Amino acid sequence: MIEQFKGKTALITGGMGFIGSNLAIKLAELGAKVTILDAMIPDYGGNVYNVTESDRIRINFCDIRDQQAVNWLVRDQDFVFHLAGQVCHLMSLSNPFPDIEMNITGTAIVMEALRKHNPKAILVNAGTRGQYGPAVSFPVNEEAPTNPKGIYEISNLTAEKIIKVYNDVHGIRSVNLRLSNLYGPRSQMMHSRFGVFNWFIRLAMDDETIQLFGDGSILRDFVYVDDCIDAILRVATTPECYGEIFNVGSDKPITFRELCDTIVRVAKSGRWEFAEFSAERKAQEPGDFYSDISKIERFTGWRPTTELEDGIKKTIDYYSTCRDHYWTKPEKTATAKTAEKLTTATKR
């Protein structure tokens, strides 16, 4: 895989966030010339500290809804990894417009920019397993019905269909992924709105009590972020994947109760207790979910390799050394190195 990215150019939308920053660092390690596009919207997880360890990453602070900027940035890119968007499930219940503007209009802007200015680029889109909605059978494969329960999930499904049209009609080679529940380093740790796994880890590290909604028996498949990055890179460099949709998840589902027990045991601190679902969370809770990953394994050989306890330990080890950069808002904890990077990054 090293040779496939060495000397190549890659644009990552939403690249200062959780998945994007891990992807940027890996691509830089593989010898790619990496450009990040990120609007740094407060509370969305963008954090300059995420990429301070690499001096091979160029940062552009702009928005995917900025058509002029996107038109310029897609030029001469070999790969475009589309990770930017509105990512808060609960927000979409009370205000659907950011989902429509970022996930739908933003995606259309990216695809139009590629059609007009760089039709030879390869695009990988990061969607969500929430696009399925409540599962009708297990494990959930890519042919399962898509009946999402929220505007966030509907907007991601719409973005996926837009990308598929540009692949089929305009020849923009693309891959759509439906990602399951991710955890690991470089995720924001200020709140639980973008996923509870890392939030549970924070509570355990702070020796606080994890609120476990319901009876803890709901099943989920969890994926360590490094395994997700491996999947993204594999589909990007496998021509047979272009035009396809793939689950990126785990075929080893566990209950939330088992998850909390494991986190507390590995962290050696914290505890958990049962709690009632809030009305908002109950309205969007789809019940049990775990992915059928046989398709992506068949096309690329990918399987997650990080065991749950190992992934939790790696995550705790990471945040133990730099929690000040994640426990509060990034702008309040910027180091001199972070501030310098903010100052020298240019929008070209």
In percent, the amount of the chain with pLDDT more than 90 equals 81
**How far is residue 64's CA from residue 70's CA, in Å, rounded to a whole number?**
6
pTM for the full predicted model: 0.93
Tell me if residue 318 is catalytic: no
DSSP string, 32-61: -EEEEEE---TTS---GGGGTT-SSEEEEE
* Superfamily of domain covering 2-184+222-251+290-306+332-344: NAD(P)-binding Rossmann-like Domain (3.40.50.720)
Per annotation, catalytic residue among 49, 132, 152, 319 = 152
**Mean of the pLDDT values across residues 52-74?**
95
Instruction: Read off the pLDDT of residues 47-62 as tens digits, 9 standing for 90 and up.
Output: 999 998 888 899 999 9
DSSP 304: -
What is the Cα–Cα distance from 324 to 269, expressed in whole angstroms? 19
pLDDT of residue 337 exceeding 80, the answer is no
DSSP 8-state symbol, 278 = P
Nearby residues of 275 by Cβ (< 8 Å), 6 or more positions away: 211, 212, 213
Is residue 343 scored above 50 in pLDDT? no
CA gap 187, 223 in Å, rounded:
13
What's phi and psi for 19, nearest 5 deg? -70, -45
Please give the C-alpha separations between residue 174 and each of 21, 121, 126, 154, 254, in angstroms, as whole numbers. Answer: 21, 9, 11, 20, 32
Task: Return the structure tokens found at 304.
Answer: 């997650």
Q: What is the pLDDT of residue 138?
A: 96
Full DSSP string of 210-233: EEEETTS--EE-EEEHHHHHHHHH
> In whole angstroms, what is the distance from residue 24 CA to residue 249 CA?
21
Q: 197 φ, ψ to 5°?
A: -60, -55
